[in-house]
Amino acid sequence: MNFGVSTSMDVAAISIPSLHFSIKSSAAISLQAPRSRNACSVSLFSGFRRFGLRIISVKAEQASSRVTDDDFIIEDVPHLTDFLPHLPSYPNPLKNSQAYAIVKETFVKPEDVVAQKIVVTKDSTRGIHFRRAGPREKVYFKPDEVRACVVTCGGLCPGINTVVREIVCGLNFMYGVNDILGIEGGYRGFYSKNTLTLTPKVVNNIHKHGGTFLRTSRGGHDTNKIVDNIQDRGINQVYIIGGDGTQRGAALIYQEIAKRGLQVSVAGIPKTIDNDIAVIDKSFGFDTAVEEAQRAINAAHVEVGSVDNGVGIVKLMGRYSGFIATIATLASRDVDCCLIPESPFYLEGTGGLFEFIEQRLKENGHIVIVLAEGAGQDFIARDMHAAEEKDASGNRLLLDVGPWLSQKIKDHFTKVQKMAVNMKYIDPTYMIRAIPSNASDNVYCTLLAQSAVHGAMAGYTGFTVGPVNSRHAYIPIARVTETQNTVELTGRMWARLLASTNQPSFVTNSEELKEKAADINNVDISAQI
């Protein structure tokens, strides 16, 4: 690799894995090292200086590496030239596009990055940045030589079909790619030979329907079989839509492709209805899910408001993260209590759920409870003496907390309190995730798909795409799979919910709250309180 830096500072020292050098005042230095798949490639980012020193980023073989200028970090994504250094590039066809002719700056500048942290103080460090998504001036594929494929894995989510549609249309309309395959039935479809040809005409109306046009499955990931099939079919762009498990599989596919030295770009589009993917602002389909949840909450409110001592429970999705339940509660204004996986609760005693329900029934004559599916799992498992089981994706199979809690409430008030309650239980789980995406999510899915297409055509690989502080970026797959976002019990959003519902925190003191929140969120929360 070739690397040059100039600076006006007195002395600067930069450390890169296997490389170290110093720069003195007004000096220019050039560093050369052999280029191979295992060597790091260094790229210069102009426009960012600290004491006159330009910022650099490093791309490693399997995941992002960080190069810092004290407090400026760029986490870059792999590129095909990392292991194919002599790969030719070509002018981007968008130069001749009528659609992009009106754009002032058609192409994203090489030095453009997106900051992960946007709220700063005067003395804040600049922190982590990601490569900005968008079209590049040079591409590494000739359109007529591209054979792309699209696969959807895992559970359903509003907007999957929109992403599939816009990948196909983006490749065809923007870059002139005509050879696009749909892999049917998830990862298994690669080696079970289930494919269909995708054209703009074939996918034209699929965004109007829920589910996935390509069908899906859990599990079935066999890296060698998948890459063998990719190689045998001559596929050179792979678009993988799925959650954290799917994205981990995409990372393994990229690594095997790099190991074999294949000119194949692997692009991930993160999907989860629970909105628990790290780094990105939110996942597609989430707005649609919250909007649809309002219908169930409204129905519960009408039901319990029409009877004496009405208790309505609405169970929403949220295996480990209670974002749907939390945001749906904040949006509704008709919810009295929200129970999520991150927040422990207890039933009996002072400050418990039974006491709160009794209080609300006396005040209002009814109560509406929103319950995330992952809430109280340890509680119900102990009560039912249930053994832990897992699904094909390795996720813990959840016990059905909705009917269990409904029965517990009913038994308590009829047997202990000698008080009749009218229980109304609504479970719209699969209705919420099976509907088509709304207007907001359709626009978002379009941006995701087009960003993925631009990235793959530009030769990036082993990346996922998503909005970071409202700007789309290319993110190393490892960053979105290393942890899951959860509702912070010490954050302002949960505080807003508690203020809106006026429900108890179900925690006896602030120290216990800190301990439970730190354990659940797996973060150092001392600086957030």
* 243 annotated among ligand-binding-site residues: yes
Residue 19 located in a structural domain? no
- CA–CA dist 61, 41 (Å, integer): 9
Domain co-membership, 453 together with 329: no
Structural domain including 321 reads 286-435+488-524
Residue 255 near residue 292 (C-beta atoms within 8 A) = no
CA 526 from chain center: how many Å? 26
CATH of the domain at 256: 3.40.50.450
The yes-or-no answer on residue 519 being catalytic is: no
pLDDT of residue 214: 96
Residue 38: CB atoms within 10 Å: 12
* 272 annotated among ligand-binding-site residues: yes
Residue 3 located in a structural domain? no
Among 452, 38, 472, CA closest to 247: 452
Q: Please, what's the b/e burial string for 345-376 (b: 16 or more CB within 10 A of its CB; e: otherwise)?
A: bebeeeeebbebbbebbeeeebbbbbbbbbbb
Strands 237-242 and 265-270: parallel
Domain co-membership, 252 together with 383: no
CATH of the domain at 303: 3.40.50.460
Catalytic residue among 69, 76, 179, 274: 274
- CA–CA dist 303, 312 (Å, integer): 8
Q: What stretch of H or E contains 448?
A: helix 439-457
Residue 6 located in a structural domain? no
Domain co-membership, 431 together with 361: yes
Residue 48 located in a structural domain? no
Over residues 369-404, the pLDDT tens digits come to 999 999 988 888 887 766 677 666 666 778 899 999
Write down the pTM of the prediction.
Answer: 0.83
Domain co-membership, 333 together with 402: yes
Q: For residue 59, name the pLDDT band (cuts at 50, 70, 90).
A: very low
* 260 annotated among ligand-binding-site residues: no
pLDDT of residue 98: 84
* 248 annotated among ligand-binding-site residues: no
Q: Is the pLDDT of residue 71 over 90?
A: no
Domain co-membership, 102 together with 244: yes
Over residues 448-499, the pLDDT tens digits come to 999 999 999 999 999 999 999 999 999 999 999 999 999 999 999 999 999 9
Q: Is the pLDDT of residue 47 over 90?
A: no
Domain count of the fold of the chain: 2
Amino acid identity at 8 = S
Residue 419 located in a structural domain? yes
CA 252 from chain center: how many Å? 18
Among 206, 281, 265, 326, CA closest to 485: 281
Cα of first residue to Cα of last residue in the chain, in angstroms, is 46
CA dihedral 415, 418, 420, 426 (to 10 degrees): -40
33 versus 467: which is more confidently predicted? 467
Q: Is the pLDDT of residue 6 over 80?
A: no
Mean pLDDT of 19-34: 36
Residue 22 located in a structural domain? no
Domain co-membership, 382 together with 307: yes
Residue 53 located in a structural domain? no
Domain co-membership, 198 together with 117: yes
